[in-house]
Amino acid sequence: MGQVNVLDHPLIQHKLTHIRDYRTGTKAFRELVDEVATLMAFEITRHLPLEEIEIETPVCKAKAYQLAGKKLGIIPILRAGLGMVDGMLNLIPAAKVGHVGLYRDPETLKPVEYYCKLPSDIQERELIVVDPMLATGGSASAALTLLKEKGAVNMKLMCLIAAPEGVEQVKKDHPDIDIYLGALDEKLNEHGYIVPGLGDAGDRLFGTK
């Protein structure tokens, strides 16, 4: 069964507070999402396996460590997931980036797919699917299903803020997936927005609306 991990590092929590604040404008919002994505990437990559190698320092030969195991992929769910990509690439610059385009129909709250472009070797990669918001869970669940259909076998889901309803939906549809969150909020409101949340992540990132 997949685990749900709330990354409660003080810097993540502090920055999330500013991200949530309605007075935070687009520029600061985008910078903060970028920074939190870097911090979350740091936490989410803790488990990566290392292998011992021999190197030579200016002083002597030495045993040292380098990353081993599967290569990584970052899959933002468009559009808001784009705001988390650069922050993650700061730490894992060799990761390949695939894009899944989904938007949530405002009436039905159901995800609508409009784009998918993935690295050709996703089945060999450990994929981190990123989206700031996990609300009903419809978008994330549909993205994970699509990625599995395309061959992905090793995925994690990383979101800034989730509602319990979204977490339950993903756990039900994808019990194999570990979920990493900056915060687990109280609930969804009648419009499917996370409470207290941060409002519309895509609009706040890109200055639309």
Footprint of ligand URA (CB under 6 A): 133, 135, 192-194, 197, 200-202
Per partner kind, with CB cut-offs from 5 to 8 A, the member of ligand PRP, ligand URA, none near residue 197 is: ligand URA
Judged by CB under 6 A, does residue 132 bind ligand PRP?
A: yes
Q: Is 204 an active-site residue? A: no
Secondary element (H or E) of residue 160: strand 155-162
Residue 166 interacting entry, from ligand URA, ligand PRP, none, C-beta within 5 to 8 Å by type: ligand PRP
The interface with ligand PRP within residues 4-63 (CB under 6 A) comprises none
Cis peptide before 46 (omega within 30 of 0): no
CB of 28 to ligand URA, least distance (A): 17
Q: Kindly give, in sequence order, each residue whose CB lies less than 8 Å from that of residue 209, ignoring residues fewer than 6 positions away.
A: 200, 203
Q: Which does 194 bind (CB under 5 to 8 A by kind): ligand PRP, ligand URA, none?
A: ligand URA
171 binds ligand PRP (CB under 6 A): no
Structure tokens at 193: 């927005």
The amino acid that residue 9 corresponds to is H
Q: Give the active site residue among 104, 125, 185, 204.
A: 104
Give the separation between CA 151 and CA 70, rounded to whole angstroms: 15
Q: How far is C-alpha 67 from the chain's CA centre?
A: 21
Location of structure tokens 């292998």:
51
Known catalytic residues are 104, 108, 200, 203
